[in-house]
Structure 1
Amino acid sequence: MVNFGRVVEIQAGNVSLSNKNFTIEFTVPFDNDLLPNESEIKIFNLSDTTIGSFKSDEKLIVNAGYEGNTGAILQGFISRVTTAFSGVDKTTTIYVLDSENLSSRKLEDIAYAEGTMASKILEEMAGQLGLEVAQMNLNQDVRYDGGYTATGEITDIIKKLAADCGTSAYINKGRLYIRNLREGADDLIDISANTGLIGQPEASTEGTFEVMKLKTQLQHRVTTASVIKLNSKRHKDVTLHIRKGSHRYNGSDFVTEMEGIFP
């Protein structure tokens, strides 16, 4: 990958901004849980009119990459906007959640009959949550022989049901995924020095997981559950399933940092 022609585009309501015209920085995290991630986008020296165009709860999209190869790294909702001065520079920081605030979406004692399958309850909980289900693929569809009572925050209910089925549940770019990180029809992404690998990956053990941490030039395709084929000086044809990471641009570094688990 050639590290030039960097592209950053921000769209929110009627506003469309590009790094061709503005200095933009960002940190966009992603992971494999149901808690909304908060991204931070900094834009320098915007007019007051443009700043006022960024409204709380409004949808915001960030596309990033290189000329001829860009894609969405963030689709979410503005949670708050701040502006501060440092000398002659004015910095506007836009905070964006990768889903709507879901903590207020609760249920009270919805009872399911004996023998109800987890998949049925999960489908209904997803409907109650109001997010589009991008994928639902359970490792095991558990039968609740004694019935099941759904109560509390819907995200907690989904998390518990998915765990019973040995499956991850997470939100990514405003959509709900209930699936195993190691399974699915995800495209294989080749990572090597030729495609932007920076430095040497670091392997470690966390509990029962073997994990690998690595950094590349910005890869907009990489997100939760992406499948990586890694080739480096010490690792040849290693397959990794990404569980968390971030896209980051600070004016100089234009990178994706990620952590993957082995098959």
Structure 2
Amino acid sequence: MSNLYMRQTTFLVGDRKITDPLTVKFSVPFGDNEKVDTIDIQVYNLKDDTINAIATNQAAILSAGYVDDNGVIFSGTLKKKETKWEGLDKITTFKCIDSSLDYTKTVIKRTYGRNTPASLILRELARDAGLAIGDIDLPVDFIYRSGKALNGKIKFLVSEIAKDCEAKLHINKGRIYVRDRVKGDNLGLDISKETGLIDEPEEIEEETKDEKGSTLKNDKKKIKGYKIKVLLNHRITTDVIIKLTSRKVSGVFRVAKGEHKGDTSGQEYYTECEVVPV
């Protein structure tokens, strides 16, 4: 377990690589909803030449973990940067989104003919947005019998089509996922005290839709899950299936949402998430 305390954090933005000994602080949320996540990455005392060389709308990738086990926890686009002074420290904050700017801003006007399947439209919209496809596995591949006219921003069009297919939509690490609400990715991940679990899991209630595609308030139900905190683990992200073992809890769960938090000069370096039974 000694390697767990040998932290390694790397921020790639454009053609610039930012790593030790610079202090980097980050907060990376993730979740199984349609919201495009915004993250903040703060870098202390970055040279002016480096700051000026970094332009918005460039690719941004944050990797974190430990010397023998690290990986990407965020991949997206730089939306904004700002620098301010706090005492003797010059702090540059990079605000990034986990999708392309095209996904949030580009307007599509296009008409599809009769009997077009939703899966075809979704794949073409992902291409238009410059997003890789993480998974398009629709509970219902809705057929537009009378054709389909598109006129709007990509993110709203994708959301509308996902609802037609009774599917869940989320963006993660620059990839688009449209699939069954309970589907997850089984990476063979075991979470226990021996693998980094901090404290006993906290029981929570997660609200979920009782019927697929329903938006009625009374069609929602609550299921019991857990909030867990572990030493930063880059493999934990939206929809990952984990085997959780503690003194009071043992079972298989799906990650619904969470956050990676880190401070390369301080004690904060962990992953916190909420999990629901599979």
Above 0.5 in TM-score?
yes
3-state DSSP of counterpart to 2:183: coil
2:73 matched to which residue of 1?
A: 73
Change (3 A) 1:220 1:185: closer
3-state DSSP of counterpart to 1:55: coil
CA displacement 1:206-248 (0-9 Å, x = unmatched) = 2424232211110001111111111112111x11111221110
3-state DSSP of counterpart to 1:103: helix
Change (3 A) 1:165 1:224: same
1:256 matched to which residue of 2?
A: 271
Q: Which amino acid aligns with 1:176?
A: I
Q: Determine whether 1:183 maps to 2:197.
A: no
1:160 matched to which residue of 2?
A: 160
Q: Is the 8 A contact 2:185 2:239 kept in 1?
A: no
Fraction of identical pairs, as percent: 32
Change (3 A) 1:122 1:13: closer
3-state DSSP of counterpart to 1:257: strand
Q: RMSD of aligned C-alpha atoms?
A: 2.0
1:132 matched to which residue of 2?
A: 132
CA displacement 1:62-101 (0-9 Å, x = unmatched) = 1110111010111121111111112211111111111222
For residues 45 and 185 of structure 2, the distance between their equivalents in structure 1, rounded to whole angstroms, comes to 43
Instruction: Map 1:41-52 onto structure 2 (within 5 A).
Output: 41-52=41-52
1:107 matched to which residue of 2?
A: 108
Q: Which amino acid aligns with 1:64?
A: A
Gaps of 5+ in 1: none
1:10 matched to which residue of 2?
A: 11
For residues 24 and 162 of structure 1, the distance between their equivalents in structure 2, rounded to whole angstroms, comes to 37
Structure 1 residue ranges, 4+ long, deviating more than 4 angstroms after superposition: none
3-state DSSP of counterpart to 2:32: coil
3-state DSSP of counterpart to 2:247: coil
1:91 matched to which residue of 2?
A: 91
2:196 matched to which residue of 1?
A: 196
Q: Is the 8 A contact 1:181 1:242 kept in 2?
A: no
CA displacement 1:124-146 (0-9 Å, x = unmatched) = 32233332212111112223344
Q: Is the 8 A contact 2:185 2:241 kept in 1?
A: no
Aligned residues: 260
1:240 matched to which residue of 2?
A: 253
Gaps of 5+ in 2: 208-219
3-state DSSP of counterpart to 1:186: strand
Change (3 A) 1:39 1:167: same
Q: Is the 8 A contact 1:181 1:243 kept in 2?
A: no
Higher helix residue share: 2
CA displacement 1:179-199 (0-9 Å, x = unmatched) = 235335531211111111112
Q: Determine whether 1:226 maps to 2:227.
A: no
